[in-house]
Each structure stands twice: as structure tokens, then as C-alpha cells.
Amino acid sequence: MSNFIAGREYSGNGDRLESQQEDEANAWAKEFLIPSEYDVELSTLRSREDVIEFAERLGIHAGIVVGRLQYDQVIDHNS
């Protein structure tokens, strides 16, 4: 069973259900912001300094890198 809240669909346990369109948008953004050629290096980032240096080399904000690490569950959302 699912519920709709504010135009979004959620499962019975409160987890958000993603549509195919949202999955495609997430995949596009993931590749556009941090291309897959950086996946291995991205997974090795452990310090604030590592994240900042990586972001500067890619020309993106460090918050984007942190968000990606959280999305990929490399770091906790509370980090």
C-alpha cells in the first residue's frame, strides 16, 4: 500500500517511491555533476580537505560532493 503526500508517493513504511522519470533524472544529474570516471576516487574521499580538493578540481561546490557521498551511502546524512 502506498500514500500520496504533497504530490509524492510513499510506501506504507514512509519510504519514498521513485518513479522511472525521477530515476532517469537522478542518473543524468549523477553523471553530469560527477562523471562515472571519478567513481573510484569519489569512494575514497574521507576528509573535509579531500572533498574540497576534489570539488575544486571538478569545478563544483563541495556540497555537491557531500550530497553524492550521502546519496551513494558512503557517508551518513548526519555527517
Q: What is the pLDDT of residues 61-74, one digit of tens each?
A: 999 999 999 988 88
Cell of 2: 502506498
Whether the predicted model's global pTM rises above the 0.85 cut: no
Which residue's entry shows cell 574521499?
A: 45
33 lies in some domain: yes
The answer to whether residue 53 is domain-embedded is yes
State the total domains in the chain: 1
The answer to the question of residue 3 being in a domain is: no
**Number of residues in the chain:** 79
Positions in the chain short of pLDDT 70:
1-18, 79
The parent domain of residue 31 ranges over: 19-79
Task: Let me know if residue 49 belongs to a domain.
Answer: yes
**Residue at 23 is within a domain:** yes
The answer to the question of residue 11 being in a domain is: no
Side-chain-side CA neighbours of 29 within 13 Å: the count stands at 11
d(CA 55, CA 25): 21
